[in-house]
Amino acid sequence: MPRHTVLGKGPIGRTLAQHLADAGHEVHVLSRSGPGTGTAARTTTSAGGSVEHHRVDGTDADALARHAAGSAALYNCVNPAYHRWVTDWPPVADALLTAAERTGAVLVTAANLYVYGAGNHHMHEDDPLATRETKGRVRVRMWQDALARHEAGAVRATEVRGSDYLGPGAEAHAHAGPRMLGPLLAGRTLRPIASADQPHTWAYLPDFAAALATAAVTPAAWGRAWHVPTPEPLTYRALAGRFAAAAGVPVPRVAPVPLPLVRALGVVQPMMRELHAVGYQFAEPFVADDAASRRALGLTPTDWDTVVATTLGAYRGEQRAPA
């Protein structure tokens, strides 16, 4: 099995690494911190795959190329803090392009839907990249740079765009992660941003990983972007109701935080300022069409019953683990 190299070990990077290893691949995970404290630097799976962690600066093209040498694909799963995208993303993106060009590894980027901008309520991969928001413009430039190198024959590149993710391993900031499940299971009020009643696409982390891994080895997928195959859109309120039913708890009260309040908090909290800038994603319909990617990648999304049950089970397991 060929080697795969993943830069970043957040929820998407971790899920992707495990997906590849479970398929029997050798996976090298690169991150600033390397293997966690008390965590083995290398683990193996019953399928014969392995995950090996290395401490690497993501802006160091030489180090990235050295570790990615011999890899079938190099995956960009980095996610800087929202308020640092303008400064932190460009050097990482440039280093990844250089490493991909030197090694011949297919560059596969885990991306998002910010590139389309507000007002596009039903997004398709070939829609104009019309965002006026700063973080979205950063991602547009990253894709345009990668596409230019691809079209020039210097690299082989693709990207997979996903909406807000949920699933095992989702971290505290995820809208449908611990931020929702913690208060829901405790009987407290849920406080989403802007609105709880607009249709919204949600990306299941294992489906995101499967799309990245498949795009890497599908030549017809290179040179363009794809949406993560997802189950049907749900409002925040409907999704919370599904989790409540599966958990056997009362349907939670939902009280959205108005965007003007988010903006006011952003005066002193950079994260809230950046959340306000993309608040349109919950204030209006935010639906990604996945028909093209289903056809091109040959993937179907996990059904909602499985997504909810698996996500809930993983969260409860994580809560019991410390004890």
Q: Can you list the positions of beta strands (E) in the chain? A: 3-7, 26-31, 42-44, 50-55, 71-76, 106-112, 122-123, 157-162, 164-166, 202-204, 225-227, 287-288
Closest CA to 144 of 135, 132, 154, 157: 157
SS3 state at 208: helix
Give residue-wise pLDDT tens across range 95-148.
Answer: 999 999 999 999 999 999 999 999 999 999 999 999 999 999 999 999 999 999
Please report the pLDDT score of residue 321 as a whole number: 63
The rounded mean pLDDT for the chain is 95
Contacts of 40 (CB under 8 A, 6+ apart): none
CB 149 within 8 A of CB 155: yes
> Where along the chain do its domains lie?
3-163+203-229
CB 159 within 8 A of CB 196: no
CB 283 within 8 A of CB 121: no
SS3 state at 317: helix
Residue 91 and residue 217: Cα distance in Å, rounded?
Answer: 26
Please report the pLDDT score of residue 262 as a whole number: 80
With cut-offs at 50, 70 and 90, classify the pLDDT of residue 323: very low
Q: Quick check: 271 pLDDT over 80?
A: no
Q: Which uninterrupted H or E stretch holds 89?
A: helix 85-103
Please report the pLDDT score of residue 277 as a whole number: 84
SS3 state at 315: helix
Structure tokens at 183: 């208060």
Residue 39 and residue 53: Cα distance in Å, rounded?
Answer: 10
Structure tokens at 164: 């807000």
Give residue-wise pLDDT tens across range 56-104.
Answer: 999 999 999 999 999 999 999 999 988 899 999 999 999 999 999 999 9
State the amino acid at position 273 in one-letter form. Answer: R
Please report the pLDDT score of residue 172 as a whole number: 86
Q: Which CATH architecture has domain 3-163+203-229?
A: 3-Layer(aba) Sandwich (3.40)
- Write down the residue that tokens 């996976």 correspond to: 27
